[in-house]
A and B are shown apart, each in its own frame.
Chain A
Amino acid sequence: MKKIYLDHGATTQANPDVLEAMLPYFSEFYGNPSSIHSFGRETKKALEEAREKVAAGIGAEPREIIFTSGGTESDNIAIRGAARALQKKGNHLITSSVEHHAVLDACLALKEEGYELTVLPVDEYGMVSVKDVEAAITNKTILISIMMANNEVGTVMPVAEIGKMARERGITFHTDAVQAIGLLPLNVNDLYCDLLSLSAHKFYGPKGVGILYVRKGTKLDVFNFGGAQERKMRPGTENVPGIIGMGKAVEVAVADREKRSARISSLRDKLIQGLLKIEDTRLNGHPEQRLPGNVNVSVKYVEGESMILSLDLKGIAASSGSACTSGSLDPSHVLIAMGLDHQLAHGSLRMTLGTDNTEEEIDYVLAVMPEIVARLRSMSSVYASSKKE
């Protein structure tokens, strides 16, 4: 059976070069980087080389890079760490209603602890407005966290403008760039960000390892305690192979980015155009300011989950929203924030394209989708009654 993977927003397959780079660090160069003998120094050196690669890939300095266990940890450390470190300066945080749960829930937890929180609305395309951010800023605002590109609908936010505004006012700015690297131009200086989160497994690296960029001079309280690893910002024996793999993955992601993005964008546009030919469908997210790989459509009168299961039987892996909440019955908080009614939100289908997808695969998806939708609609009482009207 065909196996077409269109869920790169959930996770990606590790690149063969990445795996090859990791391999020696499991059983050959396995020393603990904190060990003082040459066996440990070897891995320490490799770790620092990976740090240099990551830094170079995003325009940072090596000492501004902290390795973490993934995007969720990076987001949490950034938000809680900054909020705690800056509590003498103020207690107001600004974020958006379409952030990943790692950001949103970390902010909500801080609200319970007594911080003031503004959760900004988005427009019908899922876009945060710079003006809204500006209007929300008070003299107590210490942190703004707005994602670079939304994981569900792919809307690319005006983060550089927001970052610039935050910097002019001396407010710490964090951006969750987990979905963006390798697809959008990403340079921490151009984005004016103080904190930026990345997760290796979203860009063809391994799961279980991530990055937090911390611009020098940014105040951040420590979260975990133990050894002196990562300048005490993030103790614990380092996931050496994971970090080495991530270094390679950043290198690969940044090289040839424009060409790759252009190719994926054209596949995306073909897929969107094809899907919108099915009647009673709509595109979710911004038509232009959109991640190259993201397709999100709502198919009226059909449950997103039913489409996913039907597609799965045809060998196509897709999702209804973000992977982490796909087991839950609640509609996507992103689509609701964009003003979709529950029916349309429940009928959403996300297909996220990656480097390995081909035009033939898109043709195949477009060939099977109409029959899947037709079959599901034929079983839908809502559809039947709507057609009688």
Chain B
Amino acid sequence: MREVYLDNSATTPVLPEVAAVMHKIHTDTYGNPSSLHRMGVEAEKIKRRARRTLADACSVKESEIYFTSGGTEANNLAVMGVARRLRRRGLHLVTTQVEHPSVLYACRLLEQEGFALTYLPVDREGIVSPAAVADAMRADTLLVSVMHVNNEVGAIQPLAEIGALIKKNNSETLFHVDAVQSFGKLPVQPLLWQADLVTFSAHKLHGPKGVGALYKRQAVHMEPFFHGGGQEDGLRPGTENMAGIGGFAEAARLATAKLSAHALALSKLKKNFSAGILAAIPDICWNSSEEGAPHILNISVAGTRGEVLVHALAEEGVYISTGAACHSRRPELSHVLLAMGRKEKDVEAALRFSFSPLNTEEALVYALEKLQAAVLSIRRVTRR
């Protein structure tokens, strides 16, 4: 059976080049970077090169990149680490209603610890207003956390504007950006955004699972989660996931080298696929805009249930999702689409297609055919 993988926002396959780098680390340069002997020194060099690659990809200093076990850990660390460290300075944080659960749940826990949280609404496109961020800020606002690209609908937040307003209001308020979905697809620019903390994850850009990173501006102090051997400047101790780190850097290098070409190709895929849906399937509610990220398309197919379509398409070898993978095993409705003002039945009917440069136009034509057929047969049954 033909297989078309359109769930690249959930995770991506590891590129052969990346796998090759990882294999070499597993078999040849497997030393512990903390060891003094040659094996250790070699490993340390690999780690430094990887750190430099990531730093270069977003024009920051090498010493400001910290490796973690993934996006969730980096988001948790950023939000909770800053709040706990700075709680004497203030107790207020600002975020949005459409963040990834690793930010939202961290915020909820902070509420239990006595912090005050403001969860900003978004408009029908999923965009948060910079003015609303500024309005929400208090004299004791420690941190504002806003994602770059939303993982379910692809909405791009106006980070440069938000960052400028935050710093204008209070230069001490820190700004965290979850760039998990955008890194490798759009320029990630901590300096332009005036961001103090930025989260990355490798497995969303054809790197391995189990590794991520946090950009932390030098002057920012935060509480680590873990204590131990002092690795990553004490911010994230534990023997480094060396193959993961090497693979992450290679994936980041490949993605950033072709960033604009990939973005263009992805935009074209999304545009043509959208046009195809528009022509072939009536009664679609569009949850992603043309201005959104080039690799995410979220639609609600009236008269269907998202989960049913996901399974129907999987039977045909087309893999998509109803929204975020991390809660797609739970029956809850998407908090993102609800925040965007979608009706409950549209939320239940949501489908997310997420593309990668590995997808071809021709594969999308196949996916569209299967989608059209599945929608047709479901609607035939439900409307009878």
- The residues of A with any CB-CB pair to B shorter than 8 Å are 5, 7, 10-14, 19, 23, 26-28, 30-32, 34-40, 68-73, 75-76, 100-102, 105-106, 108-109, 199, 201, 206-209, 223-229, 235-242, 305, 308-309, 311-312, 316-320, 322-328
13 example contacts (A-B, Cβ-Cβ < 8 A) are as follows A10-B31, A69-B73, A69-B210, A72-B229, A101-B230, A101-B237, A201-B239, A207-B241, A225-B105, A225-B108, A239-B210, A240-B209, A327-B36
**Interface: B190 (CB within 8 A):** no
Contact across chains for A19 and B26 when beta carbons are under 8 A apart? yes
The 4 closest A-B pairs by CB, nearest first: A208-B241, A239-B210, A324-B229, A227-B326
Q: Return chain A residues, CB-CB under 8 Å to B11.
A: 30-32, 35, 237
Q: Hey, what's the 0/1 contact readout for B76-105 against A, CB within 8 Å counting as 1?
A: 100000000000000000000000111001
* Cross-interface CB contact of B37 among A208, A228, A319, A328, cutoff 8 Å: A319
The answer to the question of B139 belonging to the interface, with a C-beta cut-off of 8 Å to chain A, is no
Q: Which residues of chain B (64-78) have a CB below 8 Å from chain A?
A: 69-73, 75-76
Does B16 lie at the interface of the complex (its beta carbon under 8 Å from any beta carbon of A)?
A: yes
Closest to A69 in B: B69
Extra pairs beyond A36-B329, A235-B101 (12, CB < 8 Å) = A10-B35, A14-B30, A37-B320, A38-B319, A40-B7, A68-B69, A71-B238, A101-B230, A102-B229, A225-B105, A237-B325, A317-B37
List which B325-354 residues lie within 8 A (CB) of chain A.
325-330
**Known: A69-B241, A105-B227, A236-B73. Contact between A40 and B10, CB under 8 A?**
yes
**A36/B307 in contact, CB under 8 A:** yes
Chain A contacts for B228, CB-based, 8 A: 72, 75-76, 100-102, 105-106, 324
Query: Contact flags (1/0) for B228-245 with A, using CB distance below 8 Å?
Result: 111100000111111110
From 287 to 329 in chain B, residues with beta carbon under 8 angstroms from any chain A beta carbon are 307, 310-311, 313-314, 319-322, 324-329
How far apart are the CA atoms of A27 and B208 in the complex, in Å?
9
Interface presence of B176 (CB below 8 A): no
In the assembled complex, the Cα of A242 lies from the Cα of B10 at a distance in Å of: 18
With an 8 A cutoff between CB atoms, is B13 at the interface? yes
> Given contacts A36-B329, A76-B228, A324-B34, is CB(A71)–CB(B239) below 8 Å?
yes
The one of A38, A235, A308 in contact with B102, judged by C-beta atoms closer than 8 angstroms, is: A235
Shortest beta-carbon distance from B314 to chain A in Å? 4
Are A36 and B321 in contact (CB-based, < 8 A)?
yes
Where the two chains meet, the residues of B that have a C-beta atom closer than 8 Å to any C-beta of A are: 3, 5, 7, 10-16, 18-19, 22-23, 26-27, 30-32, 34-40, 69-73, 75-76, 100-102, 105-106, 108-109, 201, 203, 208-211, 225-231, 237-244, 307, 310-311, 313-314, 319-322, 324-330
Are A320 and B36 within 8 A (Cβ)?
Answer: yes
- Which chain A positions have C-beta within 8 A of B7? 31-32, 35, 37, 39-40
Q: Is the CB of A317 within 8 A of B34?
A: no
List the B residue with the shortest CB-CB distance to A29.
B13
Contact across chains for A72 and B34 when beta carbons are under 8 A apart: no
Q: Which residues on A sit within 8 Å (CB–CB) of B324? A: 227
User: What CA separation (Å) do A34 and B310 show in the bound complex?
Assistant: 13
CA distance A7 to B36 in the complex (A): 10
A46 to B16, CA, bound (A): 21
Bound: A124/B91 CA distance, A: 49
Measured CA separation A236–B320 after assembly (Å): 20
Q: Could you tell me the distance in whole angstroms from the C-beta of A51 to the nearest C-beta in chain B?
A: 16
Q: How far is the CB of B142 from chain A (nearest CB, A)?
A: 18
Residue with the highest number of chain A CB atoms closer than 10 Å, among B15, B228, B310, B320: B228
Contact partners of A225 in chain B: CB under 8 A: 72, 76, 101-102, 105-106, 108-109
Interchain CB contact under 8 A, B23 and A19: yes
- Per the bound structure, the CA–CA distance linking A386 and B227 in Å amounts to 41
Q: How far is the CB of B323 from chain A (nearest CB, A)?
A: 10
Which partner residue on chain A sits nearest B240 by CB separation? Answer: A207
Is A226 a contact partner of B30 (Cβ separation < 8 A)? no
Chain A residues within an 8 Å CB radius of B108: 225
Q: Tell me how far the C-beta of A378 lies from the nearest C-beta in chain B, rounded to whole angstroms.
A: 22
Measured between alpha carbons, how far is A239 from B201 in the docked complex, in Å?
12
Q: Do A27 and B310 contact each other (CB < 8 Å), given the known contacts A11-B32, A235-B326?
A: no
Provide the residues of chain B in CB contact with A242, threshold 8 Å: 209-210, 241, 244
Q: Are the C-beta atoms of A73 and B69 separated by less than 8 Å?
A: yes
Which of A31, A69, A76, A320 has the most chain B CB atoms closer than 10 A to its own CB? A69
The CA of A317 and the CA of B231, in the complex, are separated in Å by 21
Find the A residue at minimum CB distance from B328: A36
Nearest CB of A to B86, in Å: 17
> Which residues of chain A are near B319, meaning CB under 8 Å?
31, 35, 37-40
Distance from B346 Cβ to chain A, minimum over Cβ atoms (Å): 19
User: Which residues from chain B contact A223 at a C-beta distance below 8 Å?
Assistant: 225
Say yes or no: A224 contacts B231, CB within 8 Å.
Answer: no
- Check A209 against B37 for contact (C-beta < 8 Å): no
Partner of B36, one of A23, A68, A305: A305
Alpha-carbon distance between A26 and B244 when the two chains are bound, in angstroms? 11
Q: How far is the CA of A108 from the CA of B227 in the complex (A)?
A: 9
Instruction: Name which residue of chain A comes closest to B230, CB basis.
Output: A324
A317 with B35: CB separation less than 8 A: yes
Whether B231 pairs with A324 at a CB distance below 8 angstroms is yes
CA distance A285 to B18 in the complex (A): 42
Residue contact B26 to A14, C-beta cutoff 8 Å: yes
- Give A143 to B363 CA distance when docked, in angstroms: 56
Q: Of B26, B75, B201, B242, which is in contact with the most chain A CB atoms at under 10 Å from its CB? A: B26
Report A-chain residues with C-beta under 8 Å of the C-beta of B106.
225-226
Are A322's CB and B229's CB within 8 A? yes
Residue of A nearest to B9 (CB): A32
The smallest C-beta distance from B243 to any residue of chain A, in angstroms, reads 6
Closest to A229 in B: B326
Known A-B contacts A14-B30, A105-B227, A240-B209; the reply to A35 vs B69 at CB < 8 A is no
Question: Across the interface, do B37 and A236 meet the contact criterion of CB distance under 8 Å?
Answer: no
Contact of B227 among A101, A235, A311, A328 (CB under 8 A): A101
Q: Contacts A39-B319, A226-B102 hold; do A72 and B210 have CB atoms under 8 A apart?
A: no
Q: List, in ascending order, chain B residues with CB within 8 A of A229's CB.
A: 326
Residues in A neighbouring B15, C-beta threshold 8 A = 27
Give Cα A353 to B325, complex, Å.
43
Contacts of A14 in B (CB 8 A): 26-27, 30
Chain A CB within 10 A, most for which of B5, B11, B108: B11
Q: With A and B bound together, what is the CA distance between A324 and B327 in angstroms?
A: 37
B72 touches A235 (CB 8 A): yes
Chain A residues with CB under 8 Å of B105's CB are 225-226, 235
Cα–Cα, bound, A311→B40 (Å):
14
Q: Are A26 and B19 in contact (CB under 8 A)?
A: yes
Q: Give A27 to B16 CA distance when docked, in angstroms.
A: 8
With the chains together, A75 CA to B237 CA distance in Å?
11
Do the beta carbons of B27 and A19 come within 8 Å of each other? yes
Which A residues lie within 8 Å of B226 (CB)? 72-73, 76, 102, 106
**Chain B residues within 8 Å of A208, by CB:** 69, 210-211, 240-244
Q: Closest Cβ of chain A: how far from B331's Cβ, in Å? A: 11
A324 to B36, CA, bound (A): 10
